Amino acid sequence: MLQTIEVEIDATGHIHPLEPVQTIPAGRALLTLLTPSVDEVLQLAEAALAEDWLKPEEEEAWAHLQSAK
């Protein structure tokens, strides 16, 4: 019998089922990797880049491009 379960793969390559699973029997399986949605990628990138974007030296470096008030 074929069974499909949704999993997440962490940075170290470990597989974590998203829903409780009794047991996964030993044997063979096919793994289909799904590309993350654009929204998910943007959210991850924004959090990482915000650390640099919000530094005072970044504000100073780009101040000349802001409109005069």
Percentage of the chain modeled with pLDDT above 90? 1
pLDDT at 29: 85
pLDDT in tens, 14-46: 988 888 888 877 888 888 888 777 777 788 788
- Pair 16, 10: CB distance under 8 Å: yes
First and final C-alpha spacing in the chain? 68
Residues with Cβ within 8 Å of 10's Cβ and at least 6 positions away in sequence, in order, are 16
Report H helices in the chain: 38-53, 56-62
Averaged confidence pLDDT in the chain:
83
What is this structure's pTM?
0.42
